[in-house]
Every structure is written in C-alpha cells, then in structure tokens.
Amino acid sequence: MVVEWSLDELKPEHVLARTPGVIYCTCLIDEFNLLLVGNDQGGIHVIDLEKRAEVRYLLGHTKGVFSLLWNAEQQHIISCGGDGNVICWDVQNFHSIKSMALCEAKIRAVDYSKVHASIALACGDNSIRIFDSNTLELKHEWQAHAMSVNTVCFHPNGRWLLSGSRDAHLNIWDLENDYKLHKQIPAHNYAIYSIAFHPDGKLFATASRDKTIKIWDSENLEFLIRIDNEFNQGHVNSVNSLYWTNYNNYLISGSDDRSIIVWKIEN
Amino acid sequence: MKVDVQKVAHLKGHDGAVYTINNGKSNNHFLSA
C-alpha cells in the first residue's frame, strides 16, 4: 500500500493506494493530480487522487518496475524495469512513446537534470547510461562500477553525478569533463541503495544494505557522520530509500525492517 | 563541518519492507510504500 504521512503530526493520514503484490516505486504528478505506483509484476497503477480510484493500469514491462520519473518539461513518464527496458509514456493518453531495451539486467533507478537536459539511468550491467531528456537519444554510456549500479543522483552544483552500487562504492562523475571519474569512495560495507541531497544542497545522505545511513559534505565529499542502530536506534535491516524534505529539513528513511524513521540533521 | 543527528520519530504501519519514500502533495506530507 501507499501511505501518506503527516509531518506535523508524525502519523499516517491516508492510504492512497492498495495494490496486490509488492510496490517498488511511486511518483506523484501534481499538475494532473495523479499518483503512479510501480509493482513487482511489471505494471504501473495510475491513481486519480481526486477520484481516489485507479484510472489506468499500464503493462509494458515483463518484470518489476523499479523507478518512475515525471519529466514535466516534456510531459513524459519514464519507467525503469527489471526486464532491462526503459519506457517513455505520454501522460495524456498513457500510450508508450518509446520503449528502449538497454540490457539483460535490471534498470534500478533514474534521475533527471533540467540544467543538462539529461536523464541518468542506473543499470544492472554495471553501467550508467545518459539520455537526452528532450530527444531520448543515448548521449553517453560507460562501465561505472564493479557490480550492479543501484542508484544515481545529479549533484545540485550541476557539475557531478553520484552513483551507488552493489559494490558498496559511491562514485562521483564529472559532467563537465566527459563523465570522467572524479572520486571513488568505499562508502559502505554492502550495497548502496539510495542517495538524497539536503534541500539547501550542503549535505547529502547515502543508505545501504549494511543497515546504516551516512551523511556527507556535498562540497568536499568528506564523510561526516554514520547513523546506525547501535548509536542512534536506527534501522535493524537494509535501508532502502531516503527522502530529504524541506519540512524542518527532516531526512526520512525506509527499511526492510518495515519501519520509517524521521531524522533531524543539523549543522 | 560538524553535524548532529536527532531521531524525531520511528513510524510503523507497513506489513512488509519499505522500498520507497517520496514527496507528498504538500510540504508537510510524504509518501511511503
């Protein structure tokens, strides 16, 4: 199910969707009042939040949908599948505009840079692929890690792309220097699943299968603090997802331990 | 730079793993699944 939580009251407010199977990703499209829900069967539920009803079910992937992106500039939805395909959907009629078979492995994550008009894809064949967000043409691809790439995130400085992998490394790529490796950091003990930037861009966080969250300085990429169960009463299993809200600058984490933790990080 | 970490709330409500956390419709809401 998809739950909407109140940060004022720190409790659940609504269940927005109940779907069979496991949900891997969601995406809110504010201007159409729609919620997209990607499941483990390769389907995307389209929920009308005003009617509180499913209005479409998009079946384009043959394996789980791991990540969804709304490109407001192009009015496109991008979906990433465990089948190695990326599909671009028209939000008006929900038809597939373009389907791209990229590899045999999973496509785990997508991020968008308006400044660079680029979409970055984290691929299970250890590569990162960069597409032009306007034309959907492949601009660049390279072997980025020793194992599957799980997450990608454009740095707010517009210069770097960050990637996290099953190889437990955090890699920083220089967009102004032909995507050359700027820095490689052995950031965690196991796979990195999520990267999130503080709203002011000065800090970022990484989440890992090693059950920890780490906070980093965005400017010099130095490690600042580790959040774990022993010292912070953190998660007891893999940390899968992070979201850094501008409400009190709370960092929110979701885990295999079935719980969500709200953190306040102050500098 | 020095940072302090404070745990604000530990929220439970899902029967299985939490795979995704996203923005909600307003600043004071978020979504989980």
pLDDT at residue B6 tops 90: yes
Q: Which of B3, B24, B29 sits opposite A224 (nearest CB)?
A: B3
What span, in angstroms and rounded, lies between the C-alpha atoms of A130 and A207? 23
Q: Give me the mean pLDDT over the A164-170 stretch.
A: 98
Q: Which of B7, B18, B23 sits opposite A240 (nearest CB)?
A: B18
Interface test with B, best of A25, A110, A212, A258 (most B CBs within 10 A): A258
**How far from chain centre, in Å, is Cα A117?**
18
pTM exceeding the 0.95 threshold for the entire prediction: yes
A17-29 pLDDT tens trace: 999 899 999 999 9
- Quote the minimal CA–CA distance from B12 to chain A in Å: 5
A28-63 pLDDT tens trace: 999 999 999 999 999 999 999 999 999 999 999 999
**How far from chain centre, in Å, is Cα A180?**
22
Report the pLDDT value the prediction gives residue A174, as an integer from 0 to 100: 97
User: Please, which residues bridge with residue A80 across strands?
Assistant: A67, A86
Structure tokens at A243: 């979201």
Closest alpha carbon to A18 in A39, A32, A34: A39
A101-142 pLDDT tens trace: 999 999 999 999 999 999 999 999 999 999 999 999 999 999
Q: Give me the mean pLDDT over the A153-159 stretch.
A: 95
Report the pLDDT value the prediction gives residue A50, as an integer from 0 to 100: 95
Separation of first and last alpha carbons in chain A: 35
Report the pLDDT value the prediction gives residue A267, as an integer from 0 to 100: 85
What span, in angstroms and rounded, lies between the C-alpha atoms of A61 and A79? 9
- Contacts with A23 from chain B: Cβ below 8 Å: 19-20, 33
A196-240 pLDDT tens trace: 999 999 999 999 999 999 999 999 999 999 999 999 999 999 999
Any CB–CB contact under 8 A between B26 and chain A?
Answer: no
B16-29 pLDDT tens trace: 999 999 999 999 99
pLDDT at residue A78 tops 90: yes
Where on the phi/psi map is residue A196: left (φ > 0), alpha (ψ -120 to 50), or beta? Answer: beta
Under DSSP, is residue A19 helix (H, G, I), strand (E, B) or coil?
coil
A242-257 pLDDT tens trace: 999 999 999 999 999 9
Residue A179: pLDDT band with limits 50, 70, 90: very high
Q: What is the DSSP string of A175-238?
A: GGGTTEEEEEE---SS-EEEEEE-TTSSEEEEEETTS-EEEEETTT--EEEEE-HHHH---SS-
Sole residue written with tokens 């496109």 = A76
Report the pLDDT value the prediction gives residue A29, as an integer from 0 to 100: 97
Query: Long-range contacts for A209-213 (Cβ within 8 Å, ≥24 apart)?
Result: A209/A238, A209/A239, A210/A168, A210/A238, A211/A235, A211/A236, A211/A237, A211/A238, A211/A239, A211/A255, A212/A188, A212/A239, A213/A239, A213/A242, A213/A251, A213/A253, A213/A263
Structure tokens at A27: 């995406």
- Contacts with B4 from chain A: Cβ below 8 Å: 265-267
Instruction: Output the average pLDDT for chain A.
Output: 97
Report the pLDDT value the prediction gives residue A199, as an integer from 0 to 100: 94
- Contacts with A25 from chain B: Cβ below 8 Å: 19-20, 33
Cβ of A241 and B18 within 8 Å?
yes
Closest alpha carbon to A17 in A7, A31, A27: A27
Q: Give me the mean pLDDT over the A61-75 stretch.
A: 97
